Amino acid sequence: MSPRLEIDAPDISPFRAGNSGIPYVTSFDSGGPGPHVLINALTHGNEICGAIALVELFRSGLRPARGKLTLSFANVEAYRAFDRASPNASRYVDEDFNRLWDRATLEGPRRSSELARARQLRPIFASADFLLDIHSMQYATAPLMLIGLAPKTETFARKLGIPELMVRDAGHVAGSRLRDYGAFADPAAAPVALLVECGQHWERRAAEVAVDTMWRFLAATAVLERRFAPAPPQRLITVTDVVTIASDDFRFTADYRGLEVIAKAGTLIARDGRQEIRTPYDACVLIMPSRRLGRGQTAVRLGRFA
């Protein structure tokens, strides 16, 4: 059964030239002191809610009250292949753009469409004081803010006030995410990066969350002055275990969609070849179980409410 698409992929071709010397990257400088604030969309080519948010921001005519604001469309080559008849196929061209963000990979000999684009974008990301990386998920679950391990990131995420759920996690064995690149992951460094998972890839609500999060991010960084209605208190989930697939025969024992709370420790949730995957403690939360069940990939993260 084909997934239901409630939103359309916007035309981003008017933003191709940009003004930064890098295609699809546009900066607006206030001319005054302040932080460099960056909003990034299309880390994955099929996650279109971020593109919708950036197009709205362009059309608003907003200019920063201080510092510099940069808007970036990342994996444009994958996005160009987006097809409503097969929307999952355009996640990337050669490899996952969001597993490349360590120095050894970026400066190594490997070549791919995604690495070429990452190397092109690297200077602009490295210069950012605040980064919002907008994503979406495979299943229609509640939005999540993935905040990493540095306390500075949780502090900043609480300034936004949304989404309600924050996830403290260390990342993936398969490679480093943009959110964890360089100074963003250094607790002693000032730059802060947030990764928001807005909801299921093509649900209307995901686009609404992306837009709302974007505006609140701009307010939290003082790019604009705006007040928002109070949001529900945020809740924190700490990831304790990452299930990385070791075989070519990984199967969940049920149709998990994410944020299920498994009551009892020792509950069987998956089999990885001959290995049984069981919950390590009571009230274990399943975070973003994947449909991409290949060797070396993250199958699911296990966490608990703080």
For the chain, which residues make up each domain, given as ranges? 13-220, 237-305
Distance of CA 16 to the CA centre of its chain: 22
> Contact at 8 Å (CB) between 70 and 26?
yes
Give me the pLDDT at residue 98, please: 98
Q: How many CB atoms lie within 10 A of CB 31?
A: 10
CA distance from start to end of the chain: 38
Q: Long-range contacts made by residues 258-262, C-beta under 8 angstroms, separation at least 24?
A: 258/137, 258/139, 258/141, 258/286, 258/287, 258/288, 258/289, 259/141, 259/142, 259/165, 259/285, 259/286, 259/287, 260/285, 260/286, 261/285, 261/286, 262/286
What's domain 237-305's architecture? Beta Barrel (2.40)
- What is the model's pLDDT at position 2? 59
pLDDT of residue 284: 98
What's the pLDDT score for residue 52?
98
Residues whose CB is less than 8 angstroms from the CB of residue 120 and which lie 6 or more positions away in sequence, other chains included = 22
Domains 13-220 and 237-305 are alike in CATH topology: no
* Cβ atoms of 291 and 138 closer than 8 Å: yes
CATH architecture assigned to 13-220:
3-Layer(aba) Sandwich (3.40)
DSSP state of 296: T
What are the phi and psi torsion angles at 212 (to 5°)? -65, -45
What is the per-residue pLDDT for 225? Answer: 84
Question: ∠ CA 285-274-246 to the nearest 5 degrees?
Answer: 65
Q: CA nearest 282: which of 262, 254, 268? A: 262
The CB density around residue 123, as the number of other CB atoms within 10 Å, is 11
Q: Could you report the average pLDDT of every consecutive run of 10 residues in the chain (306 residues)?
A: 84 98 97 96 98 98 95 98 90 97 97 98 98 96 96 97 96 92 97 98 97 97 88 96 96 97 98 98 97 92 96
In this predicted structure, what is the pLDDT of residue 169? 95
Read off the tokens for 190.
């000032």
